Structure 1
Amino acid sequence: MNKDMAALPTQPDTALCDIRYTAGISIIVPTYREAENIPHLLRRINRVRKDTGLTLEVLFMDDASDDGSIEAVATSGFDWARIIVRDGGRGLSPSVIEGFAAARYPVLVCMDCDLSHPPEAIPKFVLALHTGQQFVIGSRYVPGGSTDDDWGFFRWLNSFIATVLARPLTTVRDPMSGFFALRKSDFDTARGLNPIGYKIALELIVKCGFENVGEVPIHFSDRCFGDSKLTLAEQLRYIQHLRRLYMFQFAGMMYLAQFLVVGASGVVVNLSILSLLFWAGLPEWLCFAGGIGVSLMTNFLLNRRFTFSYARHEPILRQFLGFASAALLGLVVNYAVALSLRMSVFEEGAFALQLSALTGVAAGMGFNFLGARYLVFRKRFIRK
């Protein structure tokens, strides 16, 4: 679990000016229709470069804006700034990953182009890395951090909920921040990066296994030019991203939790089909069989699509036969455990029969999960 270092102490200007990363810093800025902001950002970064003597480059990763962004960089007069126009689909996180891979220097900084992130904080990021931090975040929520006054309640609530949902993954106070720094050597060790949406910092903290995460207080400003890219679709992608990270961090628990949720939905399907067939006047034995059969199929399809989604491209018929066999064996385990406990452990008592039955259900469910997880949808045999 990542440890929050809280706010890093503010260093005097003389200490910041003494920092020299002669090997250089690469500042990655994902952009989409930010031509108006580019000149302002570059001028502020240039002042930081002159004041501190830091060697740096700025790499704009542009999602084919076609709004004059290329010209804004070309006419800026700063030979340490360049722009790469991406050919693939748009996306902030993929842009950052590609930018990190293309960076020339061993220290990586990511920031937005909308002037919400203060480039004046970058020397403090470098200082924190220089003093042993693995990952440094520009934080709004540590002492000294702040946001503009006109944020509004709903914007604050959205940020608060997103942060709470990420809490099991990290104790960092502002994991939603898009302003952060790390070493390129640490980034190069990351495996299985699969970010979606706009929360790339959280992806890196989890996937790189960072233990020492520092937070530098910043003032988060509202954008001056252009439109916000935070849409409802992006927020929904964040939920999807969280699910992926939970699966990465707590794989066993998440597989089991989803399996149980699907199993609960199967109970609803079973009872619904049984009732419909009974109301249609069919024999009871056929009603029971119909409910079991339909719920078995829905459970299989839901587990294949969501619980064990990595296996959904494998042959479906073979998987279904394996799933049905595991379910049948699970029923046998259920019955055998319940009967055995009734005869040996729960021989007497007001709810002896019910306790035996519940224990049998738990054993059968556990057997079904293990069979599905390690036999039917076995991950190590899935083609990459």
Structure 2
Amino acid sequence: MLSVVVPVYNEEKNVEELVRRIKAALINIEYEIVFVDDSVDNTPQIIENMAMKDEKIKFRHRNNKTGLSSAVIEGFEIAKGDIIVVMDGDLQHPPEILNEMVKAIYKGADIVIPSRFIPGGDDGGLNLFRKLISAGARYMAKALLKKVRKFSDPTSGIFMFRREIINDKKLRAIGWKILMEILVIGEYKNPVEIPYKFCDRGFGKSKMSLKIQMDYIFHLFSLVNRSKEDKRFYYFCMIGLSGVLVDMSVFVLICNILPKITVKTTSVISASIAIISNYILNSLITWGDKIEYKLKIKKELFNLKFIKYAAVCFAGILIKFTVLLIIYNLLKFNKYSGNFIGIFCASFFNYYMSKYYVFEFNERKKIKYRRSL
């Protein structure tokens, strides 16, 4: 069965039309409509009257409680369907798209996201200011959260998914974009985007406010904290920054205390000390949950993994060293600037090689082997 979960707040002029159009779109499909209502106008009475006449309509009114995400999660608890749709009650999401979404699910998708930003889609229902706010929200999410980057419209307010992708998952009612919560926390293999045209609001007014925007930002950082993959990346970046400080500090110290040592030798020494510092910190913090270094640091410092890490980082030193020579010897720039730019260039190389060749190499081999069986 298909459950259409609709959180509503003061949509008295829209809910009857919404129900009529949902029914027209879902002919020959077993469905229910679950309204979770926080309204202070006549919306609750209108929905209750419709529910009394139609057993497919379920209704829960919440007193003194607001929040789109919490309403949606409460709707999930009420819903009986193994396929769930979330859509707003303001008719800016055209109910006619439901039929195409169901077809995509029947073809094997486990989550279907109508998008305004793929060929055939349109976000004309927003004014310029709201478009800028929406774009900022999308790109912030994509910058911070790896799992949402592949989606063109991760902040969409309408989507359909198989309930199984959130089984045993604890969803948190933070902010107003529950789709991102599901994309980051859920387990799915076949997401699908289909185009749709975001419509103008006919009646009522937008619920957007500064508080809602702040809740969204808080939600993003909450998701980063709960996503091991994203948190690992940011740990690596912070440890990399500490390595830059170690490298630069040692470089400056040697240049001032032992000025007779050449810039080349000083650069190699400072980078080598930074490598050891980064390796220990990455072992303890970034990949500590995977490889249990916390009890084996001394041993691990001399095993194959450390040798591979050192090899990667010394290749990074060559990159840094080359950049330094170009900037300092050829371009005649300041040696400190040359060293810093060299570190920056080498950091990208070190991250990707450390991730794929050192810390997650054996895990990737195991996955590849299982797929070959």
Q: Normalising by structure 1, report the TM-score.
A: 0.62
Which residue of structure 1 aligns with residue 233 of structure 2?
Answer: 253
Give the letter aligned to residue 202 of structure 1: M
Distance of 2:55 and 2:78 partners within structure 1:
17
RMSD of aligned C-alpha atoms? 3.5
Query: In 2 relative to 1, CA 66–161 (structure 1 residues): closer, same or farther, beyond 3 Å?
Result: closer
Paired residue for 1:212, among 190, 193, 198?
A: 190
Deviation string, structure 1 residues 223-276 (Cα, Å, up to 9, x no partner): 222221222222232222222333303221223435677x69xx9xxxxxxxxx
The answer to whether the aligner puts 1:68 opposite 2:37 as a matched pair is no
Between the two structures, name the one with larger relative contact order (CA 8 Å, sep ≥ 6). Answer: 1
Give the letter aligned to residue 246 of structure 1: V
Give the letter aligned to residue 66 of structure 1: V
Which residue of structure 2 aligns with residue 114 of structure 1?
Answer: 90
Distance of 1:228 and 1:46 partners within structure 2:
25
Q: What is the aligned residue count?
A: 275
Distance of 2:267 and 2:5 partners within structure 1:
62
Paired residue for 1:198, among 176, 187, 190?
A: 176
Superposition deviation, residue 213 in structure 1: 1.2
Superposition deviation, residue 87 in structure 1: 5.9
Give the letter aligned to residue 163 of structure 1: R
Work out whether residues 235 and 285 of structure 2, in 8 Å CA contact, stay in contact via their aligned partners in 1.
Answer: no
Any stretches of 5+ residues in structure 2 without a counterpart? 255-259, 295-373
Distance of 1:230 and 1:58 partners within structure 2:
25
Paired residue for 1:42, among 19, 22, 31?
A: 19
Superposition deviation, residue 111 in structure 1: 0.3
Give the letter aligned to residue 21 of structure 2: R
Give the letter aligned to residue 86 of structure 2: C
The answer to whether the aligner puts 1:226 opposite 2:204 as a matched pair is yes
The answer to whether the aligner puts 1:183 opposite 2:96 as a matched pair is no
Give the letter aligned to residue 69 of structure 1: T
Which residue of structure 1 aligns with residue 329 of structure 2?
Answer: none
Work out whether residues 169 and 246 of structure 1, in 8 Å CA contact, stay in contact via their aligned partners in 2.
Answer: no
Work out whether residues 3 and 83 of structure 2, in 8 Å CA contact, stay in contact via their aligned partners in 1.
Answer: yes
Give the letter aligned to residue 186 of structure 1: I
Distance of 2:276 and 2:235 partners within structure 1:
17
Which residue of structure 2 aligns with residue 353 of structure 1?
Answer: 266
User: Is the partner of 1:142 in helix, strand or coil?
Assistant: coil
More helix by share: 2
Aligned residues with identical type, % of pairs: 30
User: Is the partner of 2:71 in helix, strand or coil?
Assistant: helix
Deviation string, structure 1 residues 271-290 (Cα, Å, up to 9, x no partner): xxxxxxxxxxxxxxxxxxxx
After TM superposition, list the pairs within 5 Å mapping 1:315-330 onto structure 2. Answer: none
Give the letter aligned to residue 122 of structure 1: L
Superposition deviation, residue 41 in structure 1: 1.0
User: Is the partner of 2:70 in helix, strand or coil?
Assistant: helix
Query: In 2 relative to 1, CA 216–372 (structure 1 residues): closer, same or farther, beyond 3 Å?
Result: closer
Moved over 6 A (4+): 372-375
The answer to whether the aligner puts 1:133 opposite 2:112 as a matched pair is no
Work out whether residues 41 and 115 of structure 1, in 8 Å CA contact, stay in contact via their aligned partners in 2.
Answer: yes
Which residue of structure 2 aligns with residue 162 of structure 1?
Answer: 137
